[in-house]
Amino acid sequence: MEKGKTLNPKPLTQNLEKMELLELFFKSIFIENMVFATFLGMCSYLAVSKKVSTAVGLGAAVIFVLLITVPLNWLLDQYILQPGALKWLGAEYADYDLSFLSFILFIATIATMVQLVEIIVEKFSPSLYNSLGIFLPLIAVNCAILGGSLFMQSREIPTLTAATVYGLGSGIGWFLAIIAIAAIREKIRYSNVPAPLRGLGITFIITGLMAIGFMSFGGMLTGGKDGGSKQETISKVAIEKIKEEVESIKK
Amino acid sequence: MALLNKKDAALITDPLFDNNPITIQVLGICSALAITAQLEASIVMTVSVLFVLGIGNVVISLMRNIIPSKIRIIVQLVVVAALVIIVDLVLKAFAYELSKTLSVFVGLIITNCIIMGRFEAFALANGPWRSFLDGIGNALGYGVILIIVGFFRELLGTGDLLGLGQKLLGHPLLGNPIPGELSGAYAFGYENNGFMLLAPMALIVLGIVIWVQRSRNTDLIESH
């Protein structure tokens, strides 16, 4: 994170255009889908996707926890962790940079929030607890949750609203992914998969094919103008490298 | 081996193949997929996990009798988070470019299920020395898969391999001895497959690794 750029925590009510929020929402669901683009939360995605009903439970719990922890960690990041974020305590704290503590604070927040949510849900809504409850402890160590907060930090999401939208969108993206794979796995039981591929192997390959499908959402927000831009930058970098080497050999 | 008796040696060799954390125990998949577009990143990730899991297992094993079982998850998370902060700071100090490539995935070692899994399953019930060996073994098993996937993705995707690829395949544009012409395999019409660098191929390559492994050792086949 660049110093100086983040010296002033931005006001919470900074007006982001609604269009931008909507864009962030769709981007976090489809284009930067947690499972298909960044592989977050793969462990529980593979372990709990044998039946649609359990997958729905875990997916809902992930949406719920991401929706709570991402904005919360955004506040922590903005007012405690960033370089200069402690300014509100007084001018003598303005130089402090606690960003090295972010891993430990984020994971502590997540673990406590998960415990808290579990207790509250158990008290007020036993029926919800029965469907979500068993998955909540699993979630504290789900990398999708910590990943959500870390991406929120590294992408410098500007406002609290945007952080909430990002948390919600990422959660929904994960939910979609796990439901889709669970539905496919329920059907694939009746197919004749080669024996060594059964179970884990075929699940990986199907997820790969689904990820290819999700890549086609890449042009959704740009009208396809910069679809394949990643590819271009890669080849550009390669060409630059080659040119440099040609130069050095000529010398 | 004089240092290790047979039982201890099995702690290291088992997770390498027949009880591999990624392909058999299905732990720690996230990072295995995300950072394998480059072999160098895979190797650094392996070393980081080796450090965190080796030391973390010893620490948890030493504390196993004083951790109240109700809050053990939080204690474990704090131990891992502290170790990961060390790794992150070291990477930022000595390999800044690489730490940019790995981005959030260094932080995500905290929630890497291999680590929590080994703490729960092994370190809480065994002494420090055996826990250390178990940690090393599992981290190496994780690393083997990372390096295999990273090897194929980097080689086929960019034609490069830790800067050695041009000796293997020749050069796409730079010809030897005439600059500007294709050389090596490229002269015969070989082309890099940029698709290997994109996310989906990580999954498919890992699927193929699992396929090969289970074809060789049919005991590992799942019923469904």
Please report the ipTM that was assigned to this predicted complex: 0.79
Assess whether pLDDT exceeds 50 at residue A9.
no
Evaluate the omega torsion of the peptide bond into residue B177 and state whether it is cis, within 30 degrees of 0. Answer: yes
Sequence-separated (6 or more) residues with CB below 8 Å from residue B148: B209
The token duo for A137 is: 């402890």
Q: How many CB pairs under 8 A join A and B?
A: 164
Residue-wise pLDDT for A59-68, tens only, equals: 888 888 889 8
Residue-wise pLDDT for B201-215, tens only, equals: 888 888 888 888 888
Instruction: State residue A171's pLDDT score.
Output: 92
Q: Which residue of A has its CA nearest to B208?
A: A201
Q: Which residue of A has its CA nearest to B159?
A: A238
Q: CA-to-CA distance for A169 and A66, rounded, in angstroms?
A: 9
Mean pLDDT of B68-74: 77
Residue-wise pLDDT for A77-100, tens only, equals: 888 887 777 777 777 777 777 777
Confidence class for position A105, pLDDT limits 50, 70, 90:
confident
- Which of A1, A3, A36, A39 is the best substitution to test chain B (most B C-beta atoms within 10 A)? A39
Q: Do B179 and A201 touch (CB under 8 A)?
A: no
Interface check B33 vs A, CB under 8 A: yes
Mean pLDDT of chain A: 78
Interface check A208 vs B, CB under 8 A: yes
Task: Return phi, psi of residue B131, to 5°.
Answer: -65, -40
Decide if B69 contacts B125 (C-beta within 8 A). Answer: no
- Which of B29, B145, B149 is the best substitution to test chain A (most A C-beta atoms within 10 A)? B29
Confidence class for position A169, pLDDT limits 50, 70, 90:
very high
Q: CA-to-CA distance for B219 and A196, rounded, in angstroms?
A: 10
Mean pLDDT of A178-191: 89
Q: Do B26 and A239 touch (CB under 8 A)?
A: no
Comparing CB atoms, the residue among B31, B74, B224 nearest residue A198 is: B224
Q: For A36, how many CA atoms within 13 A lie in the half-sphere containing its CB?
A: 30
Interface check A237 vs B, CB under 8 A: no
Mean pLDDT of A139-167: 84
Comparing CB atoms, the residue among A103, A108, A208 nearest residue B203 is: A208
Interface check A126 vs B, CB under 8 A: no
Confidence class for position A12, pLDDT limits 50, 70, 90:
very low
Instruction: State residue A245's pLDDT score.
Output: 66
Q: Which residue of A has its CA nearest to B177?
A: A249
The token duo for A222 is: 């740009």
Lowest mean pLDDT: which of A61-70, A139-148, B112-121, B168-177?
B168-177
Q: CA-to-CA distance for B127 and B68, rounded, in angstroms?
A: 17
Assess whether pLDDT exceeds 80 at residue A127.
no
Return the biggest CA–CA distance within chain A.
76
DSSP A28: I
Q: CA-to-CA distance for A78 and A128, rounded, in angstroms?
A: 33
Highest mean pLDDT range out of A110-114, B2-6, B140-144?
B140-144
Residue ranges with strand state E in chain A: none
Decide if B63 contacts B126 (C-beta within 8 A). Answer: no
Task: Return phi, psi of residue A183, to 5°.
Answer: -65, -40
Assess whether pLDDT exceeds 90 at residue A172.
yes
Which one-letter amino acid corresponds to residue A116?
L
Residues of A in contact with B110 (CB under 8 A): 103, 107, 146
The token duo for B180 is: 């500007």
Residue-wise pLDDT for B167-192, tens only, equals: 666 655 544 455 555 666 666 667 77
Mean pLDDT of A92-112: 80
A107-142 CB burial, b ≥16 within 10 A, e <16: bbbbbebbbebbeebeeeeeeebebbbebbebbbbb
Assess whether pLDDT exceeds 70 at residue A1.
no
Confidence class for position A135, pLDDT limits 50, 70, 90:
low
Q: Is A90 left (phi over 0), alpha (psi -120 to 50) or beta?
A: left
Question: Judged by CB atoms within 8 Å, which residues 76-115 of A form the interface with B?
Answer: 100-104, 107-108, 111-112
Assess whether pLDDT exceeds 70 at residue B165.
no
Comparing CB atoms, the residue among B31, B179, B211 nearest residue A250 is: B179
Alpha-carbon distance A122 to nearest alpha carbon in chain B (angstroms): 18
Instruction: State residue A199's pLDDT score.
Output: 79
Interface check A157 vs B, CB under 8 A: no
Interface check A42 vs B, CB under 8 A: yes
Mean pLDDT of B145-149: 88
Q: CA-to-CA distance for A122 and A129, rounded, in angstroms?
A: 5
Q: Which residue of A has its CA nearest to B206?
A: A204
Q: Is A4 left (phi over 0), alpha (psi -120 to 50) or beta?
A: left
Confidence class for position B27, pLDDT limits 50, 70, 90:
confident
Helical residues (DSSP H) of B20-71, grouped into ranges: 29-34, 39-63
Q: CA-to-CA distance for A106 and A148, rounded, in angstroms?
A: 10
Q: Do B33 and A146 touch (CB under 8 A)?
A: no
Distances from the Cα of B55 to the Cαs of A220, B80, B134, B139, B213, in angstroms?
46, 9, 11, 11, 30
Residues of A in contact with B108 (CB under 8 A): 40, 143, 146-147, 150
